[in-house]
Amino acid sequence: MKIATWFNARKAAQVTAFFVVRDGGSAPVLKLIKLIYLSNRKHIEKFNFPIFYDCLVSMPHGPVNSMTLNFIDGAFKDAGWDQFIGGRHGYDVTVTRTFDDDALDELSDAELESLNEVWSELGHMDRWVIRDYTHTHCPEWEDPNGSSTPIPYGRLLKHLRKQSVDDLDQNIREEREIDEIFASLRE
């Protein structure tokens, strides 16, 4: 499996680290992946584009950012990821060290605001409660019956009751393509 060139692993790692640090330096994968999905969703709701681009999928335990989950599971390696995330240990994820928000240099103030809002609202939930929360509060999630199915950004935008869903979906695709161009220039 190859890392998509448009995927910013360092930024995804910083979002992941943000939540792991706030959860005490170790966080259950299920809770963590829900907080990550919900923060990207919150940011789309507020600003019409995600914090970072990922493939969104419906899985049995709810919606997931799939490339981020693959990094958490160790399927991919990337120096940007490894600077922040210590790895997965059983059902938990750890950070390499404690970070303050200033160390999360890939994240804008607006992105940190979205992360903080999600943490303030949902960070107290355990993994099972937040999983159930996504089942009832994320209508873009469709039960994949033991498998996984894509969640197109257009469907998410529709459920967020956005105007001009097609235009916003196109903007997200174009931004992902721009990220891919810049990534290819760095190689």
Banded model confidence at residue 171, pLDDT cuts 50, 70, 90: confident
Banded model confidence at residue 187, pLDDT cuts 50, 70, 90: low
**Domain residue spans of the chain:** 9-178
Give the percent of the chain with pLDDT over 70.
Answer: 93
CB 102 within 8 A of CB 6: no
Distance, CA of 1 to CA of 70 (rounded, Å): 10
Give the pair of three-digit tokens for residue 160: 């967020």
pTM equals 0.91
- Reported as a single tens digit per residue, the pLDDT across 103-127 is 999 999 999 999 999 999 999 999 9
CB 37 within 8 A of CB 102: no
Phi–psi pair at 107, nearest 5 degrees: -100, 130
pLDDT value, residue 169? 83
Helix axes 127-137, 29-47, angle to 10 degrees: 40
- Enumerate the β-bridge partners of residue 56: 65
- Reported as a single tens digit per residue, the pLDDT across 10-23 is 999 999 999 999 99
